[in-house]
């Protein structure tokens, strides 16, 4: 099995667990490739770093699985790299909440053993694709696993976001912005503005206004096969399209389309994993 490893460069206290993870991979004769930045970080932390089969320097790589060592930010960066490669991701959490990651670092050796013995399941997660209808202002890296946020650039004035669904006018949202979230991202930015939590395997998206200037503007759950058309108006010359936190400044009046991406992200989960357990353990559900 060929494994591509990506990691955060801010996890010094987990170095012993990280080395145990690489030892477990070696015991199973896995072919291990390591992302260049993470490998250099490991070389600074230890005099006996793992020896990779290959250093990953760009997106020209292949693997049977990818391992993300870090928090949700690291997982999202890993997802961006494997987005169109059909490579499933195993997330091992060394961050804070780590909602996207299934395992803890102290479980890493057991998780690797289960992985190599095919004792796991794969969930397919929906992505949102963002398309600019102005060829002079294309969207870089257009796929979001969590959410797309339409945000004002000038903090002194509101932004008006004319929104249509399947070419049928929905409304014009006025406020600080708008979030269009996947089920995976429903526990991220969407949750912080009062949006609902969705089962990550549901076939829905959520449209949630940010600080709306009307009490009638509420989060809206829709099927994920709709096409959402957006046009922003503001006193500022630009607005921001944030795709999983990656900011894209776009000129006002540029029409944007959001739709379900043609591919998914495959997430590796343990056979013991359940959505209910995640809600209780990471969101303190019912406490």
- Which residues have a catalytic role annotated? 72
Do strands 120-125 and 265-270 pair parallel, antiparallel, or not at all (unpaired)?
Answer: antiparallel
Contact partners, residue 136, CB within 8 Å, separation at least 6: none
Place of tokens 């896995």: 30
Q: Degrees (nearest 5) of the Cα angle 9, 4, 241?
A: 65
Q: Residues 157, 158, 160, 165: is their CA dihedral positive or negative?
A: positive
* 30 vs 191: CA distance, rounded Å: 38
* 171 vs 86: CA distance, rounded Å: 36
Of 117, 15, 115, 28, nearest in space to 69 by CA: 15
- Residues pairing with 207 in the sheet: 180, 220
């Amino acid at each position: 099995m060929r494994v591509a490893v990506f990691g955060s460069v801010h996890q010094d206290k987990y170095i012993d667990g990280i080395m145990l993870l690489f030892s477990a991979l070696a015991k199973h004769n896995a072919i291990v490739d390591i992302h260049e930045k993470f490998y250099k970080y490991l070389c600074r932390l230890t005099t006996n770093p793992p020896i990779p089969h290959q250093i990953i320097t760009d997106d020209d790589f292949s693997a049977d699985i990818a391992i993300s060592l870090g928090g949700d930010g690291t997982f999202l960066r890993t997802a961006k790299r494997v987005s169109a490669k059909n490579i499933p991701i195993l997330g091992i959490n060394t961050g804070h909440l780590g909602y996207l990651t299934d395992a803890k670092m102290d479980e890493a050796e057991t998780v690797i053993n289960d992985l190599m013995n095919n004792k796991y399941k794969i969930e397919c997660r929906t992505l949102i694709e963002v398309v600019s209808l102005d060829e002079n202002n294309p969207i870089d890296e257009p796929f979001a696993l969590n959410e797309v946020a339409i945000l004002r650039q000038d903090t002194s004035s509101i932004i008006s976001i004319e929104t249509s669904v399947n070419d049928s006018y929905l409304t014009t949202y006025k406020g600080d912005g708008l979030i269009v979230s996947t089920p995976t991202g429903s526990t991220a930015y969407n949750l912080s503005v009062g949006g609902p939590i969705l089962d990550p395997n549901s076939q829905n998206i959520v449209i949630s206004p940010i600080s709306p200037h009307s009490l009638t503007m509420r989060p809206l759950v829709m099927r994920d096969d709709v096409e959402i058309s957006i046009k922003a108006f503001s006193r500022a010359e630009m607005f921001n399209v944030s795709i999983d936190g990656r900011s894209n400044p776009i000129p006002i009046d540029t029409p944007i389309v959001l739709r379900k991406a043609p591919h998914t992200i495959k997430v590796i989960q343990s056979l013991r994993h359940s959505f209910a357990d995640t809600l209780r353990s990471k969101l303190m559900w019912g406490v």
